[in-house]
């Protein structure tokens, strides 16, 4: 009994609404495999990341092999395969921002948060990641926090900015 | 969001006021509002929107639309400059051919490029109208807008515009009473620069890893799900409505004596200039005018070099600013126009450091399929890091020369590696002395083996 419960709670259970959304996405394309990335994003929106247990569940819903879902899940940089913080900070590290002192901003951020790229603050508040050109090069250095894009962001702006994300 | 935070928010904006933008001269931007408010359906239709679709679908054949695009000489604004009309003419269609797809490449991730964002956020119906025209010309059944996941605002605008267009009968069955049917879905990506390469994009659209495909077959023969597929950049597609509405001759004349290419271009400038941003100007406008409009270099620094259209284009010198910014002229100067958004580098900025940054980007973003790209780029980064720190060894620069050749055209499945090679070979050519300053050791321990992709 106990064991069964442990397995059930450890196992990944997909929310009914997410299952519906994934099945709906499937109909937008000629082949179900095409809905794979969107399915991963739906799971990620709910959980913050894509746990291993979600892979066979998505594969089952789409009728494709778990290996193909796993292959996709590990390819794309915005699909997270580890838990992330409540807020994800993407810092543009491409050329135009680099020319506008991106490295000073990065150093200020890593120092302030006490973490490096790819890490999450111990309080679970922020995850810090580099990102390709955010298409905000006219206002670099640019960063994105969750769904919001900012720029230019100077090291002095960080306190104000981060405060907005509890 | 507090005022202090909202002040930091990125807002995408054209640098030209309504007084300068006219229907006769600014086909892409004349409808935009000075305050950046998006032009949605009601306003778009009031400003002659969807007139080109009504006209083409009812009065022209698909072949005539293709001819107009050829005569207008609309060259691909995604960077390669291939004629849109010629591309559409090569799409398989007709007897026994299934109707295929129009895919809009909205993956904009080329370092230094921020133009498609403006069109999608502020005038999404122009893109939709362009896609309908492309669909009609290519006899496509369905369209996808492949939008990078980070473009949240663009996704909002497009989603609303697609609903409005469907509601108004511009999408769906029997468009504008013509009997033609077509619809569009928005597909948002999940990161990775390589998704912008058109065959990688098709794989990604199909829900696979974004490795490019070997060509041929070209997408026009066998693209998404094996069907004929035309992939075009956002800005390319946004040019189609004006070509149909005002005619190919009018469009071709927009660039006057400046260029053989037709129309206008969304040009931009980033880097240490007084006024960064975007301008719609006749294609072939020289870089001098752009730099003037940008107010020149700021902080008392001098222009040292510039990239004409993103991180995968070759460096040019201040003297090249006189050249017409069009595909052939910039190509003849040894670079590529690419996306046409200039990145400026000043005399206070190190070319070696910038190259290290660029190659780290290309190295990280390699899909890993071809050996020169997968192995050569991390090695390039290591050499550049050493030179940047003043720890280069004799032979390192020659090795970089070799790597630039090895990454060049014809050795890999896609243009990612050649894109990485172009800034490198031009930097080694024009700024060799800067690299030489990084060579300290006559001889020394050999560099360790190339580190794997993803670790630089
Ligand atoms: C590595 C790589 C990345 C690319 N990224 C983009 C992109 O983000 N947007 C784009 O329109 N074209 C991009 N391209 C060019 C496309 O492969 C293709 O040429 C273009 O979408 C064709 O459209 P056009 O003819 O309208 O320019 C990229 C090419 C390469 C090799
Ligand atoms: S050149 Fe690079 S990015 Fe392009 S297919 Fe080869 S390995 Fe992939
Ligand atoms: S280079 Fe940073 S936003 Fe483009």
CATH number (domain holding residue B361): 1.20.1440.230
Give the model confidence (pLDDT) of B44-81 as tens digits. 999 999 999 999 999 999 999 999 999 999 999 999 99
Residue A44 bridge partners (DSSP): none
Residue A136, number of CB atoms within 10 A of its CB: 25
Give the model confidence (pLDDT) of B367-376 as tens digits. 999 999 999 9
Do B239 and B166 share a domain, yes or no? yes
Question: What per-residue confidence (pLDDT) applies to B400?
Answer: 98
Mutate to test the interface with A, among B1, B10, B189, B384 (most CBs of A within 10 A): B10
Structure token digits, residue B402: 């070799």
CB neighbour class for B373 (10 Å; exposed up to 12, middle 13-18, buried from 19): buried
A:B CB pairs within 8 Å: 164
Residue at B455 is within a domain: no
Question: What per-residue confidence (pLDDT) applies to B95?
Answer: 86
Q: Are A151 and A94 in contact (CB under 8 A)?
A: no
Quote the CA–CA distance of B296 and B342 in Å, as a whole number.
Answer: 13
Question: What per-residue confidence (pLDDT) applies to A3?
Answer: 39
Nearest one of B179, B176, B150, B144 to B162, comparing CA atoms: B144
Average pLDDT over all residues of chain A: 92
Read off the pLDDT of each residue in B408-433 and give the average, rounded to a whole number. Answer: 97
Distance from chain centroid for Cα B338: 7
Do B219 and B249 share a domain, yes or no? yes
Do B342 and B377 share a domain, yes or no? no
Do B279 and B380 share a domain, yes or no? no
Do B170 and B48 share a domain, yes or no? yes
Residue at B320 is within a domain: yes
**CB of residue B194 inside a 6 A radius of ligand 2:** yes
SS3 B293: helix
Cα A22 to Cα B70, B183, B187: the distances in Å are 41, 20, 14
Annotate B196-215 with b (16+ C-beta within 10 A) or e (fewer). Answer: bbbbbbbbbbbbbbbbbbee
Nearest one of B130, B61, B126, B124 to B94, comparing CA atoms: B61
Do B382 and B333 share a domain, yes or no? no
Nearest one of B148, B124, B154, B122 to B13, comparing CA atoms: B122
Residue B441 bridge partners (DSSP): B393
Residue at B217 is within a domain: yes
Residue B67, number of CB atoms within 10 A of its CB: 17
Residue at B258 is within a domain: no
Question: What per-residue confidence (pLDDT) applies to B447?
Answer: 53
Chain B residue numbers touching A80 (CB-CB < 8 A): none
Residue B98 pLDDT > 50: yes
Quote the CA–CA distance of B30 and B23 in Å, as a whole number.
Answer: 5
* DSSP code at position B417: H
Read off the pLDDT of each residue in B413-434 and give the average, rounded to a whole number. Answer: 98
Read off the pLDDT of each residue in B280-305 and give the average, rounded to a whole number. Answer: 97
Residue at B300 is within a domain: yes
Give the model confidence (pLDDT) of A40-59 as tens digits. 999 999 999 999 999 999 99
**CB of residue B363 inside a 6 A radius of ligand 2:** no
Do B310 and B237 share a domain, yes or no? no
* DSSP code at position B227: S
Residue A5 pLDDT > 80: no
Q: Are B183 and B169 in contact (CB under 8 A)?
A: no
Contact between A136 and B192 using a beta-carbon 8 Å cutoff: no
Do B398 and B438 share a domain, yes or no? yes
CATH code assigned at B326: 3.10.20.600
Chain B residue numbers touching A34 (CB-CB < 8 A): 205-207
CATH code assigned at B159: 3.40.50.11540
Question: What per-residue confidence (pLDDT) applies to B94?
Answer: 87
Give the model confidence (pLDDT) of A67-82 as tens digits. 999 999 999 999 999 9
Cα B449 to Cα A99, B165, B378: the distances in Å are 30, 56, 10
Strand pairing report for B392-393 and B341-346:
unpaired
Strand pairing report for A148-150 and B183-188:
unpaired
Number of domains in chain B: 3
Residue A126 bridge partners (DSSP): A87
Mutate to test the interface with A, among B15, B16, B108, B111 (most CBs of A within 10 A): B111
Structure token digits, residue A58: 């998505």
Which among B285, B320, B346 is the end of a domain?
B346
Do B170 and B198 share a domain, yes or no? yes
Do B387 and B324 share a domain, yes or no? no
Which among B301, B326, B346 is the end of a domain?
B346
Give the model confidence (pLDDT) of B245-258 as tens digits. 999 999 999 999 99
Gyration radius of chain B's alpha carbons: 22
Chain A residue numbers touching B151 (CB-CB < 8 A): 135
Which among B233, B253, B273 is the end of a domain?
B253
pLDDT-based confidence at residue A6 (cuts at 50, 70, 90)? very low
Give the model confidence (pLDDT) of B148-203 as tens digits. 999 999 999 999 999 999 999 999 999 999 999 999 999 999 999 999 999 999 99
Chain A residue numbers touching B278 (CB-CB < 8 A): 138
Look-up: residue for tokens 């691909």? B76
Do B122 and B218 share a domain, yes or no? yes
Question: What per-residue confidence (pLDDT) applies to B443?
Answer: 56
pLDDT-based confidence at residue A2 (cuts at 50, 70, 90)? very low
Of B52 and B4, more confident: B52
Centre of ligand 2 from the C-alpha of residue B211, in Å = 7
Nearest one of B265, B250, B244 to B115, comparing CA atoms: B265
Q: State which residues form the domain around B97.
A: 3-253
Nearest one of B328, B308, B321 to B260, comparing CA atoms: B328
Average pLDDT over all residues of chain B: 95
Do B174 and B310 share a domain, yes or no? no
Q: Look at ligand 1, atom 28, and give the residue with the nearest C-alpha.
A: B197
Q: Which range among A21-35, B51-65, B138-152, B423-437 shows the weakest confidence by mean pLDDT? A: A21-35
At residue B199, what are phi and psi to the nearest 5 degrees?
A: -80, -30
Quote the CA–CA distance of B30 and B16 in Å, as a whole number.
Answer: 10
SS3 B350: coil
Residue at B440 is within a domain: yes
Question: What per-residue confidence (pLDDT) applies to B445?
Answer: 52
Residue B452, number of CB atoms within 10 A of its CB: 12
Strand pairing report for B392-393 and B101-106:
unpaired
**CB of residue B362 inside a 6 A radius of ligand 2:** no
Residue at B388 is within a domain: yes
Give the model confidence (pLDDT) of B330-381 as tens digits. 999 999 999 999 999 999 999 999 999 999 999 999 999 999 999 999 999 9
Q: Which of B194, B312, B366 to mutate to test the pocket of ligand 2 (most atoms within 8 A of CB)?
A: B366
Shortest Cα distance, chain B CAs vs residue A7, angstroms = 30
Quote the CA–CA distance of A63 and A44 in Å, as a whole number.
Answer: 20
Give the model confidence (pLDDT) of B205-228 as tens digits. 999 999 999 999 999 999 999 999
Shortest Cα distance, chain A CAs vs residue B447, angstroms = 25
Residue A31 pLDDT > 80: yes
Give the model confidence (pLDDT) of A135-150 as tens digits. 999 999 999 999 999 9
Residue at B243 is within a domain: yes
Structure token digits, residue B336: 């590529």
Distance from chain centroid for Cα A51: 12
Ligand number nearest CA of B410 is 2
**What's the pTM value of the predicted model, to 2 decimals?**
0.95
Structure token digits, residue B12: 């995408």
């Amino acid at each position: 009994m106990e064991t069964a419960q442990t397995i059930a709670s450890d196992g990944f259970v997909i929310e009914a609404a997410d299952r519906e959304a994934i099945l709906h996405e499937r109909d937008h394309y000629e082949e179900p495999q095409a809905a794979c990335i969107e399915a991963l994003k739906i799971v990620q929106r709910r959980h913050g990341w894509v746990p291993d247990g979600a892979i066979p569940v998505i594969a089952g819903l789409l009728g494709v092999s778990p290996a193909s879902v796993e292959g996709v899940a590990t390819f794309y940089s915005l699909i997270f395969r580890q838990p992330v913080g409540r807020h994800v900070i993407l810092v543009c590290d491409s050329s135009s921002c680099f020319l506008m002192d991106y490295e000073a901003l990065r150093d200020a951020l890593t120092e302030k948060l006490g973490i490096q790229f790819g890490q999450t603050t111990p309080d679970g508040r922020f995850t810090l990641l580099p990102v390709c050109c955010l298409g905000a090069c006219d206002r670099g250095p640019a960063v994105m926090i969750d769904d919001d894009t900012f720029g230019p962001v100077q090291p002095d702006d960080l306190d104000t900015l981060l405060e907005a994300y509890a | 969001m507090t005022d202090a935070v909202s002040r930091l928010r990125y807002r995408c904006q054209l640098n030209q006021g309504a007084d300068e933008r006219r229907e006769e001269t600014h086909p892409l931007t004349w409808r935009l509002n000075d305050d950046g408010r998006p032009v949605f359906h009601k306003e778009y239709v009031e400003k002659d929107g969807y007139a080109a679709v009504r006209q083409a679908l009812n009065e022209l054949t698909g072949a005539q639309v293709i001819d107009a695009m050829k005569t207008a000489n609309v060259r691909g604004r995604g960077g390669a400059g291939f004629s849109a009309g010629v591309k559409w003419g090569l799409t398989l269609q007709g007897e026994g051919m299934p109707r295929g797809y129009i895919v809009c490449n909205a993956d904009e991730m080329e370092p230094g490029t921020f133009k498609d964002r403006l069109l999608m956020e502020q005038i999404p119906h122009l893109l939709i109208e362009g896609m309908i025209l492309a669909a009609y010309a290519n006899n496509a059944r369905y369209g996808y807008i492949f939008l990078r996941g980070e473009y949240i605002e663009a996704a909002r605008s497009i989603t609303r515009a697609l609903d409005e267009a469907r509601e108004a009968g511009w999408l769906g069955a029997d468009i504008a009473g013509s009997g033609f049917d077509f619809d569009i879905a928005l597909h948002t990506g999940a990161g990775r620069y390589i998704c912008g390469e058109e065959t990688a994009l098709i794989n990604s659209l199909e829900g696979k890893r974004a490795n490019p495909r070997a060509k041929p077959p070209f997408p026009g023969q066998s693209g998404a799900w094996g069907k004929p597929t035309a992939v075009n950049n956002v800005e390319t597609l946004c040019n189609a409505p004006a070509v149909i509405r005002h005619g190919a001759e009018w469009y071709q004349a927009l660039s006057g004596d400046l260029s053989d290419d037709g129309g206008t271009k969304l040009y931009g400038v980033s880097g240490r200039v007084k006024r960064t941003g975007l301008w719609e100007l006749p294609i072939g406008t020289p870089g001098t005018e752009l730099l003037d409009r940008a107010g020149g270099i700021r902080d008392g620094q001098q222009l040292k070099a510039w990239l004409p259209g993103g991180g995968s284009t070759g460096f040019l010198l201040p003297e090249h600013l006189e050249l017409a910014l069009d595909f052939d002229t910039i190509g003849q100067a040894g670079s590529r126009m690419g996306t046409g958004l200039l990145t400026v580098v000043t005399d206070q900025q190190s070319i070696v450091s910038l190259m290290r940054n660029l190659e780290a980007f290309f190295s990280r973003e390699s899909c890993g399929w071809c050996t020169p790209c997968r192995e050569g780029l991390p090695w390039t980064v290591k050499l550049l890091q050493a030179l940047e720190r003043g720890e280069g060894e004799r032979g390192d620069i020659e090795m970089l020369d070799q790597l630039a050749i090895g990454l060049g055209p014809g050795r890999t499945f896609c243009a990612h590696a050649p894109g990485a090679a172009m800034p490198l070979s031009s930097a080694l050519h024009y700024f060799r002395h800067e690299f030489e300053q990084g060579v300290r050791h006559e001889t020394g321990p050999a560099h360790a083996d190339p580190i794997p992709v993803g670790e630089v």
